[in-house]
Structure 1
Amino acid sequence: MSEPQAQVEETAPDEVVPEEQIAFDVGEFPGGARSAIEAVLMVVDEPVTDVALASALELPVEDVRGHLAELEEEYAAQQRGFTLRQVAGGWRVYSRSDYAPVVEKFLLDGQQAKLTQASLETLAVIAYRQPISRSRVSAVRGVNVDGVVRTLLTRGLIEELGAEGEGGAVLYGTTDYFLQRLGLQSLDELPALAPYLPEVDVLDEIAEQGRG
């Protein structure tokens, strides 16, 4: 009679082994939790919720909200050139409105480089389909537009118009400065798009496919 063989646990071929999670304690960082929150806010492209921050930093949501409020008060007290704003259900660092004139002069008067073809195409999609999310613009153009959208925001040609429902994607539209640059009184004066882009009627279908 043969002896029973020892059972060896093996990973099934189709079983995914999760990567080791990054371990840290925000309390051990030089600036603590508040500095950790700042570090995250400096790299986000869109407003991030306090719940998402709490999850990433492994902190209670109420603690994160308290840190955000303290940071906002600290920036105001120190008259910093930037502030924290709650937009579209999330938080993000913005330049303070008090310094809008100098920022506008630097960006608009001091940066006269022409828009690239990619920027012009992205701006056209936003102008004709606004309000529209970044993901839908990407779906229409077939490429990632994150960098281009940041450029258009910096140039003051587009702006955030809110979000798609509660906690949804940020929606973008053109600004009054966009109309000024084109010499238009309103968006109603934009030329008809159909003669130049016959497939305009299927843009929404393309965008939906890109989201699927």
Structure 2
Amino acid sequence: MSAVPETGPDLEALPGGLRAAVEAILMVADEPVSEYEIAAALVVPVASVQRVLDRLRAEYDGRAADLGYAGTLEPRGFELRSTGAGWRIYSRSEFAPVVSAFVAEGQAARLSQAALETLAVVAYRQPVSRGRISAIRGVNVDGVVRTLVQRGLIRELERDGESGAVLYGTTTFFLERMGIGSLDELPDIAPHLPGIDQIDHYED
């Protein structure tokens, strides 16, 4: 186990102090981070970090009374969630249609139709091999898969125990672009992607 440094960042010299430091860490975390990890990085008591996290969550939720404010606060478009793995900032579920529209429309110019369809197959059928994706789409997808890997939207998960084929799945970056916290929150996009509504007719 690596030693915890005796001194951490000079929080008093930073604008916003501990609160802003915790928020900055949450903004760059690509996976849930615990209060213990944050406290270790900043070299402050865990209880202090916990208080900041609770206040940030209340602030993002617009719970003015919990913060001791007499007025009102508007909730943010994002929220701070605590799971068994730790804390992380997510897009608020109410804005899923907005985020999905941005991903589907705003990013469409950057991904070809073939890439979007391949990404959908991976998202809804992962872990899935390139051969399986090709069978579903009816075309060779080697180049498209490489593009999606390069863009950080999908990644190699494991190898199939029988065939040895590489199996692919989506990344946390994909979830962030979709504005969701887990694959269980994936929207029903099948009607908008040709052929995807037929996936369940194929047998593994």
Q: How does the TM-score come out when normalised to structure 2?
A: 0.57
1:152-179 CA-to-partner distances (Å, cap 9, x unmatched) read 65247x862xxxxxxxxxxx57835355
SS at the partner of 1:183?
A: helix
Q: Aligned letter for 1:192?
A: E
Give the deviation of 1:101 after TM superposition: 2.7
Indicate how the Cα distance of structure 1 residues 100 and 122 shifts in structure 2: closer, same or farther if over 3 A, else same: closer
Partner Cα separation in structure 1 for residue 178 and residue 113 of structure 2: 10
Indicate how the Cα distance of structure 1 residues 44 and 36 shifts in structure 2: closer, same or farther if over 3 A, else same: same
Match of 1:51 in 2: 36
1:156-204 CA-to-partner distances (Å, cap 9, x unmatched) read 7x862xxxxxxxxxxx5783535554115xx7x16234xxxxxxxxxxx
Moved beyond 6 Å, runs of 4+: none
Match of 1:26 in 2: 11
SS at the partner of 1:35?
A: helix
CA RMSD of aligned residues (A): 4.2
Partner Cα separation in structure 1 for residue 21 and residue 177 of structure 2: 26
Match of 2:137 in 1: none
Structure 2 segments unaligned to the other structure (5+ residues): 63-72, 129-152, 160-164
Q: How does the TM-score come out when normalised to structure 1?
A: 0.55
Q: Determine whether 1:191 maps to 2:202.
A: yes
Match of 1:98 in 2: 94
Match of 2:127 in 1: 129
Partner Cα separation in structure 2 for residue 116 and residue 155 of structure 1: 18
Partner Cα separation in structure 2 for residue 91 and residue 24 of structure 1: 21
Max Rg structure:
1
SS at the partner of 2:188?
A: helix
Give the deviation of 1:84 after TM superposition: 0.7
The answer as to whether partners of 2:8 and 2:43 remain within 8 angstroms in 1 is: no
Identity over aligned pairs, percent: 32
Structure 1 segments unaligned to the other structure (5+ residues): 1-17, 161-171, 194-212
Q: Mean alpha-carbon deviation: is it higher for 90-99 or for 65-74?
A: 90-99
Q: How does 1:122-161 map to 2 (within 5 A)?
A: 124=122, 127-129=125-127, 137-140=156-159, 149-151=172-174, 153-155=176-178, 160=182
Indicate how the Cα distance of structure 1 residues 175 and 97 shifts in structure 2: closer, same or farther if over 3 A, else same: closer
- Equivalent pairs counted in the alignment come to 156
SS at the partner of 1:192?
A: coil
Partner Cα separation in structure 2 for residue 46 and residue 123 of structure 1: 24
Match of 1:10 in 2: none
Partner Cα separation in structure 2 for residue 81 and residue 152 of structure 1: 16
Q: How does 1:5-24 map to 2 (within 5 A)?
A: 23-24=8-9
Q: Aligned letter for 1:36?
A: A
Match of 1:37 in 2: 22
